[in-house]
Homo-oligomer: A and B are copies of this chain.
Amino acid sequence: MSESSGISLLLVDDHPVVRNGLRGMFESTPGFTVLAEASNGVEAVELAADLTPDVILMDLRMPGGGGLDAITELTRRGIRSKVLVLTTWDTDTDTLPAIEAGATGYLLKDAPQDELFNAVRQAAAGRTVLSPAVASRLVSAVRSPAPSPLAARERQVLELVAKGTSNRDIARELFISEATVKTHLSHVFTKLGVTDRAAAVAKGYEQGILGRD
């Protein structure tokens, strides 16, 4: 942390107006210093590597080096600047990936100024800041209602398979014959595009069919 000049910032946005607006806001407020600006992800990574700002305010959608890749790269390089994603609309599907990639927070640009300031401070302190909309998204992703392509019986079988139940025991458990279990499993394999139970379980988790107990 650059103690003397408060929280140091790197602004990343392809739109100069936005950068200017942000720079204005932060420069006219004690406790913040704008170290530099970048207009794309690649630049952002370079500057961040050089200047190690406390917080990087980053737009996601940018020409010439997307924000997402930039975040990934930053974390890969072990640069400790906190990334605060600032986006215009949150209709994006990128919110989750961004967070997974290592973003510390996610805010909408229409957030009131003090919320923004506050978020930056929180981020600098390493705390996660999510705008309500994003938090909701994240939460609903956790309880994602993934429609499964599997028939009810097939899902049941798959669940038991995931628990390590053998075909024979699945048969017993569901009061059907082992042959039927095998048939169901074959269908599961076909539908999931795999050839064995282990991969089927993996797909099951990947597609959210399994995993929500």
* A residues apposed to B, CB below 8 Å: 96, 99-100, 102, 122, 127-130, 132-133, 135-136, 138-139, 141-143, 161-164, 166, 194-202, 205-206, 210-212
* Closest CB in chain B relative to A212 CB, distance in Å: 7
Interface of A is mostly: helix
Apart from A96-B142, A100-B142, A127-B135, 8 more pairs, CB < 8 Å = A128-B132, A135-B135, A138-B138, A138-B139, A142-B142, A197-B197, A198-B198, A205-B205
Query: With the chains together, A195 CA to B162 CA distance in Å?
Result: 11
Query: With the chains together, A99 CA to B201 CA distance in Å?
Result: 25
Offer 11 A-B interface pairs, CB within 8 angstroms, sorted by A. Answer: A99-B143, A127-B132, A128-B135, A128-B136, A128-B139, A129-B135, A130-B135, A130-B139, A162-B198, A164-B198, A202-B210
Q: Is the CB–CB distance between A202 and B199 below 8 Å?
A: no
